[in-house]
Chain A
């Protein structure tokens, strides 16, 4: 009884349904633990803040990075330019999701007849995962238009997006492939035993399950892509968020625009990260609940 009183239902580490403190599920804290958590947070964050604010360089840093007037001028401009990042992200993502699945399926094709295709897909993923994204953007952005081929666009934006698609398709295809390989062969046996062809088994049985299983890592790659759209700024003529921030920064000789851009990124990426965590936790609960297939 006394135990019940001091440790109400839901106390971490006491109630068997609630994991002990230290695990990811310990967000609901009992009275005493909550007090300790608040106190320790106040002390730790307070000390850190004090150290920073009282450091000798702080006044000049505050002026160079957190200038209110510059922020007010920069923020709307950067936000407007950031729409280009969102555009690049959305266009690239559509192509990536489709092409990466094609590459992953090609790499999963069995039999000697498909060897050249498997080889091509493997070389492609190796190359584009092995080269820094910024380098691919440079090579395509400066190289491809210089070929002067007819019908090939010479826009930096176009080639920037192509570079992102090529790099991220390589990453995402590996994610898909891991998902495809995680599907137990008995699922394919079951599908083939019903007279479904190899392609039908892949399409109706393996791929849908694989895609569901890799949604969290896919979202992670979304976040990476979202951030890497800023690299296209290096092609010069594409005035997206980062380029716009650089322009404002150069006018004021002040770094506040970069802080403004960082905030915009955080507003987008932090919720996405939470969604990933939530998805992973849900998937884990589902599996632990006994979805044994």
Chain B
């Protein structure tokens, strides 16, 4: 199995605040890695660094064997190969659902409009959103918006998908429809890194779970082992708090 993502010694600070303190992580092709940890532990920053949305201070990142942190790498080309979905959806509110999904295909990948439309139609159908194609995002529920955001990222045919707490902004009743969409992606063999507070989901869908604590990757392992016999005290405390909060 070859590596989809390889991260070595990743450091990132915002001013005096050191958010990532030397992260090493590899993700194999078709693997799903669940990224867990308290708010502020650096999950979002790690995902944003992988997508080059944040410049890294130190460390190196490879995507499908090519170093993306090397000098002279066209970050736009890298981002086209990485799909990221945000907690707050971040759909373009002035565009229809269809346009949200076709825009980058046409402008960044130079696909012709019919091809982009066909791709979007296929994805929207897959997520049960085709009848919303001509609506604007503010007419959609949060769960529908988030599924559009996933479709928008998938339309670029990314090698890797990064999901940043994609259900955290949703009503509990809408969480399931988004999780189902992600499960389907995992089943289809998409390589994913999923930052999430949904421990049950992480245990379910991830091949491996990594626990991030104050900017370091404290431990990682198979979900069954991580959730029932965590090695580290901090992991155990975190999981206890999560259980107490009823998220597992």
Q: Which residue of B lies closest to A211 (CB)?
A: B94
Q: Kindly list chain B residues whose C-beta atoms are within 8 Å of the C-beta of A292.
A: 138
Q: Is the CB of B79 within 8 A of A195?
A: yes
Is B2 among interface residues, defined by CB-CB distance under 8 A? Answer: no
Q: Nearest chain-A residue to B145 (Cβ)?
A: A293
Q: What size tier do the contact residues of chain B reach? A: 20 to 34
The interface residues of chain A, by DSSP majority, are classed as helix
Q: Is the CB of B79 within 8 A of A209?
A: no
A208 in contact with B94 (CB, 8 Å): yes
Could you tell me which residues of chain B, from 109 to 133, have a CB within 8 Å of some CB in chain A?
A: 109
Nearest-neighbour CB distance to chain A for B130, whole angstroms, equals: 21
With a CB–CB cut-off of 8 A, which chain B residues contact A197?
Answer: 76, 108
Interface range on chain A (Cβ under 8 Å from partner)? 20 to 34
A189 lies within 8 A of chain B by Cβ = yes
When distances are taken between beta carbons in the complex, the residues of chain A under 8 Å from B53 are 189, 192-193
In the complex, the answer to whether A194 meets B86 with C-beta atoms within 8 Å is no
What residues on A are CB-neighbors of B83 within 8 Å? Answer: 193
Whether B79 pairs with A200 at a CB distance below 8 angstroms is no
Within 8 A of B (CB), among A186-206: 186-187, 189-197, 200, 204-205
- In whole angstroms, what is the CA distance A186 to B92 when docked? 10
B169 nearest CB neighbor, chain A only: A292
Shortest 5 CB-CB contacts between residues of A and residues of B: A195-B80, A194-B104, A190-B90, A195-B108, A293-B93
Between A and B, 15 residue pairs with Cβ closer than 8 Å are: A190-B90, A191-B104, A192-B79, A193-B53, A193-B83, A193-B153, A195-B76, A195-B79, A195-B104, A196-B76, A205-B92, A212-B94, A292-B138, A293-B89, A293-B138
New A-B contacts (7) at CB < 8 Å, excluding given A197-B108, A200-B107: A186-B90, A189-B48, A192-B53, A193-B51, A193-B53, A195-B80, A293-B137
